[in-house]
Amino acid sequence: MRRIWIPFGVLVVVTGMAVLAWQASAEDKTKASPEPQASTPESGREDLSLKDYMRKKLAASNQILEGLCTEDSELILQGARTLNEMSQSERWRVNNDPMYRQFSGDFREITQQLIEAAEQKKQDRALLKWMDATMSCMDCHNFVRGIRLADRDAK
């Protein structure tokens, strides 16, 4: 089991650094052209800045990690539910590209499987699903970053 935790720990640290780097990049873009924020609850968007929204995702991710490390299925369940719910919100959809929609759908499916593993208290399965979710996040973040760079270069 220790053989899994060391690469997993490295993966979590790298993921955290990537999310923070992405936040910094997004924050710089937000300063240049502020993003409108929803003010009506019926819009389905959370009234959060992009930075705050990303922090909320990171907090849920950390909750899952803590639950995995302490074998606390309830923490895993709470974090997975938060991520799954966030992935269904309007705020989540930064792009309407078919590839982005595929990434989002895959992520929702993975977080649903993580929820099921936590409900069944299957720690090994939850760990594997968490690693899948982390890889899904990284793949999507790289994709979105590539689109933003291409858009910026085209202008």
Q: Which residues contact 97 (CB under 8 A, 6 or more apart)?
A: 147
Query: Alpha-carbon distance 120 to 129, whole Å?
Result: 13
Question: In the numeric block, which tokens belong to residue 20?
Answer: 């923070």
The pLDDT, as a whole number, for residue 11 is 56
Cβ atoms 127, 68 nearer than 8 A: yes
Structure tokens at 5: 């935790």
Domain of residue 95: give its range.
48-155
- CATH code at position 125: 1.20.120.10
Task: Give 134: exposed, middle or buried? Use CB within 10 Å, 0-12, 13-18, 19+.
Answer: buried
Please tell me the total count of domains within the chain. 1
Spatial distance between the Cα atoms of 94 and 100, rounded to a whole number of angstroms: 8
pLDDT digits (tens, 9 = 90+) for 5-41: 555 555 555 555 444 444 444 444 444 433 333 333 3
Per-residue confidence (pLDDT) for residue 40, from 0 to 100: 34
Question: How many angstroms separate the CA atoms of 126 and 111, rounded?
Answer: 10
Residue 77 belongs to a domain: yes
Amino acid type, 53: Y
Task: With a cut of 50, say whether residue 44 has pLDDT above it.
Answer: no
**Residue 81 domain flag:** yes
Examine residue 24 and state whether it is found in any structural domain, yes or no.
Answer: no
Dump pLDDT digits (tens) for 77-130. 999 999 999 999 877 777 778 888 899 999 999 999 999 999 999 999 999 999
**pLDDT surpassing 50 at residue 134:** yes
**15 part of a folded domain:** no
Residue with tokens 């968007």: 45
**Looking at per-residue confidence, does 141 or 37 come out higher?**
141
